[in-house]
Structure formats: structure tokens, C-alpha cells
Amino acid sequence: MKKTPTYPPLYKRLCGVWRRHFAVYTKNLYSNAFPPFMEPLIFLAAVGLGIGKFIAGTVEGFQYLEFLATGLLMTSAMYTSAFECSYGTFIRLEFDKVYDGMLAAPVTAENLITGEIIWAGTKGLFFSFAVLAVMAAFGIITSPYSAFTPIIGFATGIMFAVLSLLVTSYVKNINHFNFYFTGLLSPMFFFSGVIFSVGDLPQSLRAVSEALPLTHTVRIVRMCCAGKMSPIIMWDFAYIAIFTVIVGWLAMHRLRKRLVN
């Protein structure tokens, strides 16, 4: 009779995957963390200080530099989790064959994928917090409610982790990720209310903007930084939850087949 395999508790399996990624990442912490940390700050200095002085008045109640800074908090979470679960996952899957060894341990494919998602969410939390700390130190973001930003950064990391894993499940050649970053993430950066208000878009493009996941986390962060909540925040939270569950289930289903095969 075939013996049914026994597994450690779920939290230990997920923590094992998380700790593996954490150990690898921190071995080269400076080269891994410095570029994605500096990129939004450089963009803020170049665009915010350069263009900001030509923009009279406020944008959605913010000075333009602060408006841009609140949006960049979420783009840092978006890009770091997207890179982790696209290029990072693909390399571990196809080149380094890391998952072959991990699946030989007492973890299931679902545990492995869930651990990947949690790790990407953790990076989203860390980078949104790190960028927030620098912006607060320079007096760009001063609202005490901005302390909730890392939590939204975690949710942003989770959302783009499941989206990137779904994309990865289809990719056969690593160069195909160029279509994902150039064709989806870059336009999302410009049309999700990061650089200019979604309300300034033509009506037809506003509907497109509302369909983009980054729009909703940026809007929540802006409300936190302004200390003012609007009923639309309920739609934003509902979108994040529904998007994460549906896209996460699809990514889990497709990647499980690829991992097992």
C-alpha cells in the first residue's frame, strides 16, 4: 500500500519558501535593493522638481511634488514584485531548476507558489516603506496617515505578483517579458494617476484607467496621505480583493501544471 506523504504545518512550509528567497536576496542586498530603491527617487527629482515648478495650483489637493511622490510609493512596489515573479520566477524555473529541489522537500506546488506571492508582497511592503521614509525625511510627505502606506504596498506587491506569475505561466522565452513590461506595466505607470490625475483623462480612457490595478492602490494611498476618505475607496478595496483572488487562482492553476510536468 502506498504511504500517504506527511507534511509539516502549512505556516512552516510557506515560511520555508519565504526564508529561502530572503536568504538568497540578502546575500547581495546592496546590488539587489539599491537600484529599485533609487529609481523612484531619481524620477521624483527629475520630473517632480523639473515639471512641478511649471504647474500652478494643486492636483487633487496636493502640491505636484507631493502628488507625484504618493504615486511613486506604489510604483516601487509594483515594479519590484513584477520583476520578482516574472524574470525571477522564470530563471528559477527554467535555468536554475531551483523548484525541482524545492519540490523534493515536503512542500506542494501550491505551497511553493503561495510562498513566492508572499515574498513578492513582502518586497512591495519593504520598498514602499523605504521610499516613504526617505520622502518623509525630506518633508515631501508629512501626513501621519501615510504610515498605512506599507500595508497598501504589500497588497500592491501581492496583486502584481499574481499577475506576473500568470504571465510567467505562458512565457517560453525570457525575452517575451519585454512585451509585459513595455506593453502593460509602462502604460499602467502613466495612466493610473501616478503622474497626472485620472480625472484629467478623456472619459473613454477613464474607464480603461479604472480597469488597471495600479489605479486603485495609488488612489487609496493618496487618500491616506490626505487624511480624507471617499466612498470610492470601497470600490478600490473590492477591486484589489477580486483581482487578487481571480488572477491568483488562474496563476496557481497554470503554474502548478508547469511545475509538476
Categorize the per-residue pLDDT at 50 as very low, low, confident or very high, splitting at 50, 70 and 90. Answer: confident
By the 10 Å C-beta count (0-12 exposed, 13-18 middle, 19+ buried), 96 is classed as: exposed
Place of cell 520578482: 84
Closest CA to 244 of 118, 134, 147: 118
pLDDT 10s digits, 69-78: 999 999 999 9
Q: What is the dihedral of CA 164, 185, 21, 24, to 10 degrees?
A: 140
Q: How confident is the model at residue 217 (pLDDT cuts 50, 70, 90)?
A: very high
Give the pLDDT band (50/70/90) at residue 51.
confident
- Type of residue found at 228: K
Please give the distance of CA 248 from its chain centroid, rounded to a whole number.
Answer: 13
Joined grid coordinates for residue 205: 480612457
Q: How far apart are CA 159 and CA 171, in angstroms?
A: 19
In a domain, 2, yes or no: no
Is residue 173 within 8 Å of 94, Cβ to Cβ? no
Cell of 89: 520566477
In this structure, is residue 114 part of a structural domain?
A: yes
> pLDDT tens digits, residue range 142-200?
989 999 999 999 999 999 999 999 999 999 999 999 999 999 999 999 999 999 899 88
The alpha-helical segments, DSSP class H, found in the chain are 10-27, 29-43, 49-52, 64-83, 89-90, 98-104, 109-137, 149-170, 177-180, 186-191, 203-210, 213-226, 232-260
Residue 62: phi and psi, rounded to 5, are -110, 150
The answer to whether the CB of 215 falls within 8 A of the CB of 192 is yes
Answer yes or no: is 185 within a domain. yes
Interval 104-131: pLDDT, tens: 888 999 999 999 999 999 999 999 999 9
Do residues 166 and 243 make contact, with C-beta atoms less than 8 angstroms apart?
no
Q: What is the pLDDT of residue 3?
A: 60
Calpha distance 175→234 (Å, rounded): 38
pLDDT on residue 234:
96
Is residue 252 situated within a structural domain? yes
Please give the backbone phi and psi of residue 199, each rounded to the nearest 5 degrees, phi first: -65, -15
The pLDDT-based confidence of 20 (bands split at 50, 70, 90) is very high
Per the model's pLDDT, the better-predicted residue between 216 and 31 turns out to be 216
Count up the domains in the chain and report the number: 1
Does residue 61 register a pLDDT over 80? yes
Would 205 be classed as within a structural domain? Answer: yes
Tell whether 5 is covered by a domain: no
Nearest in space to 10 (alpha carbons), one of 114, 92, 101, 89? 114
pLDDT recorded at residue 242? 98
- DSSP secondary structure letter of residue 146: G
**pLDDT at residue 198, rounded to an integer:** 92
The whole domain housing 229 covers 10-260
178: in domain: yes
**Mean pLDDT along residues 214-234:** 93
C-alpha angle 205-223-229 in degrees, rounded to nearest 5: 105
Q: Is residue 163 part of a domain?
A: yes
